[in-house]
Structure 1
Amino acid sequence: MSLPVTLEPRAARDAVPRTRRFAARAAVAAAFQLRRCRPQRLRGLLELVSRGARPATSAEAMEAREAVVAVSVHCAGQGCLERSIATFLLCRLSGRVPEWRTGVRLEPFRAHAWVAVGGVPVGEHEEVATYAVTMGVR
């Protein structure tokens, strides 16, 4: 069985302010480095980064996600791990953090990473609700 590979809708370059684009690029660069960490270490680092931050709102998390997708084609495509880490980090730059989660689905097998607010995935397809959460940072 093949999976359709499509890019997420991306905001126009001018839709994201220049300073936000710079911060989003920095978050994406950091995410590409952090993705190499072992899962437990990655979770520990994200927990460390989230200390002292207030919970993000859905709008803040969605704005960060859109900025990340606007500056990175990889994050707009199949780079869910990088997208979720970069979104988390970009939100943290403003003093807030969403929930970061990874999960799996068995029929058919798929793994995914996303951010959520109040347990509700931000900017994801409805099928993410069927994933069993395997790891998360609140």
Structure 2
Amino acid sequence: MSQILDRPEHRPALATRLAARPAVTAARLLAALPPRRIVAVLSLLRRGARPATYEEALAARRDVTAASTSCAGNYCLPRSLAVVLLCRSRGYWPTWCTGVRTPPFAAHAWVQVDGRPVGEGSDSVGYHLMLAVPPLPDRSRQPVTDEPDTALTHP
């Protein structure tokens, strides 16, 4: 999916764009790994982060696309990885997803919050999820029990 570059009046401040650059660089390195390794790394990184709101994830996506023209273009895997890494550096975690979109049939990676793709436009209806790394449940809001939590044993 192609995205038009942010217009200058919506461009974040230089300090914000510079803060996004390490996430973009790390995302490019992470994108070279096999899917199983990407999921393993993201599953470790999400620990301790609270679930992101849609607005927080959208702000991170805007910062990433302003910091990198390749992430603003057709490179959805590094863009989605950079968004989750930038969100994590800010203390929250959206759901990282990968799968396919139709039509036309193509592999795609995106970030979503509460089942809603972030910044993907109206054609996100054709997205079919294959892998996801959602935020961990907020354990501070759950009642304390003596039973082990089996929901956290699988990424």
* TM-score between both structures, scaled by the size of structure 1: 0.89
Matched, 1:72 2:74: no
Matched, 1:21 2:17: yes
Contact 2:5 2:69 in 1 (8 A): no
What is the percentage of aligned positions where both structures have the same residue?
Answer: 46
CA distance in 1, matches of 2:105, 2:31: 21
- Pairing partner for 1:56 from 47, 52, 57: 52
RMSD (Å) for aligned C-alpha atoms: 1.9
Q: Tell me how many residue pairs correspond in the alignment.
A: 134
Find the partner of 1:37 among 25, 33, 37. 33
Asked whether the equivalents of residues 65 and 71 of structure 2 are also in contact (C-alpha less than 8 Å), the reply is yes
**Residue of structure 1 in register with 2:87 after alignment:** 91
Tell me by how many angstroms 1:110 deviates: 0.9
Query: Which residue, out of 6, 20, 23, partners 1:10?
Result: 6
AA aligned to 1:125 is G
Hey, what's the Cα distance between the residues in 2 that align with 1:100 and 1:89? 10
CA distance in 1, matches of 2:95, 2:124: 14
- Following TM superposition, the consecutive aligned residue runs of length 4 or more in structure 1 with deviations greater than 4 angstroms are none
Q: 1:13 to 1:45 in 2, by over 3 A?
A: farther
Compute the TM-score of the two structures, normalised by the length of structure 2: 0.79
Checking the alignment, whether the CA contact within 8 Å between 1:8 and 1:77 is kept in structure 2 is: yes
Letter in 1 for 2:116: V
Can you give the 5+ residue segments of structure 1 that lack an aligned partner in the other structure?
none
| Structure 1 residue 71, shift from structure 2 partner | 1.1
